Amino acid sequence: MQDPREAFDLDGRIAVVTGAGSGIGRASAVMLAGAGASVVCADLDGDAAKATAGTITDGGGAAEATAVNVSQSPEVDDLVNRARRDHGHLDVMCNIAGIMHNSLVVDTEDADLDRVLAVNLKGVFYGCRAAARVMTEQGFGSIINMSSGAIDTPAPTIVCYAIAKAGVAQMTKTLAVEVGPHGVRVNAIAPGWIVTGMTGRHFTNPDGTIDEERFNAVSAPMRNAAPLGRVGEPDDIAYAVLYLASDASSFVTGQILRPNGGLSIP
């Protein structure tokens, strides 16, 4: 048996993380680097990506930053191909960038649907495709896609988001079947309700501080419905990313992992 600490050791591994400028992507980039990986931090906001890479390098880890718009396939191809060219291989691809949009189906504009699908569905597809091309050729790699608990729990106003995330789950299963024989694993994570910029817009003051009263009011339904009695932090998801990136999950592919405090148990 492999030493358990070695099984989670990412020393010498190269990881690309999209959405690394904030929230779950940022926590995942820091987590992977903490386990020894060299991380390419990519985000629409290049300065935010740089800040994450700076946190990693300040702590003695290895990271670089780049701006990318995941809805543009040439940019995603370039991100992945550059990582492989610069480092010689690509071990981990985390497709984490995502956006939220709220509207009832009857009120949804074509442009809103297009925008959400372009980032949350096609952006993940582009990341999967680019990484799968590189990883099947080299004969190893782990692709990790960010889905959502929204695939299990229908809720009003999140239709664009939910159908994109359901597509991510199905994309994950299909790709896992295609690339497994080439030594490549593909899994998705469907987080519960996590305190990040995405959810924070409901309880963050204009100066960036958290309005505790609004936070408690907004998070109470999720907290109270979860058997573990709390909502999640970005690190709760980053630990799942670490597991799926590491040798500890070497027998795991095509799965949807649900770190959600038990909020939904399908």
x/- track of binding to ligand NAP for residues 2-31 (CB under 6 A): ----------------xx-xxxxx------
Q: Which of residues 93-112 bind ligand NAP (CB under 6 A)?
A: 96-99
Q: Count the residues of the shown chain that bind ligand NAP, applying the rule CB under 6 A.
A: 31
Helix (H, G, I), strand (E, B) or coil at 63: strand
**33 lines the binding site for ligand NAP (CB under 6 A):** no
Find the shortest distance in angstroms from Cβ 148 to ligand NAP.
4
Rg (CA), the chain: 18
Nearer CB in complex with ligand NAP: 14/44:
44
Q: Where are the beta strands (DSSP E) in 80-130?
A: 92-95
Query: Which residues form the catalytic set?
Result: 161
Q: Choose, by CB under 6 A, the member of 90, 94, 146, 241 that binds ligand NAP.
A: 146
Centre a 10 Å sphere on the Cβ of residue 62 and count the other Cβ atoms it contains.
15
**172 lines the binding site for ligand NAP (CB under 6 A):** no
Find the shortest distance in angstroms from Cβ 176 to ligand NAP.
19
- What's the angle, vertex CA 246, arms to CA 243 and CA 248, rounded to 5? 70
Distances (CA, A) of 65 to 15, 79, 163, 227: 12, 10, 30, 38
Nearer CB in complex with ligand NAP: 25/61:
25
Distance CA 56, CA 115 (A): 31
Q: Contact at 8 Å (CB) between 170 and 122?
A: no
Q: Choose, by CB under 6 A, the member of 38, 196, 249, 253 that binds ligand NAP.
A: 196
Distances (CA, A) of 188 to 73, 151, 208: 20, 12, 31
Footprint of ligand NAP on this chain (CB under 6 A)? Answer: 18-19, 21-25, 43-45, 48, 68-71, 96-99, 119, 123, 146, 148-149, 191, 193-194, 196-199
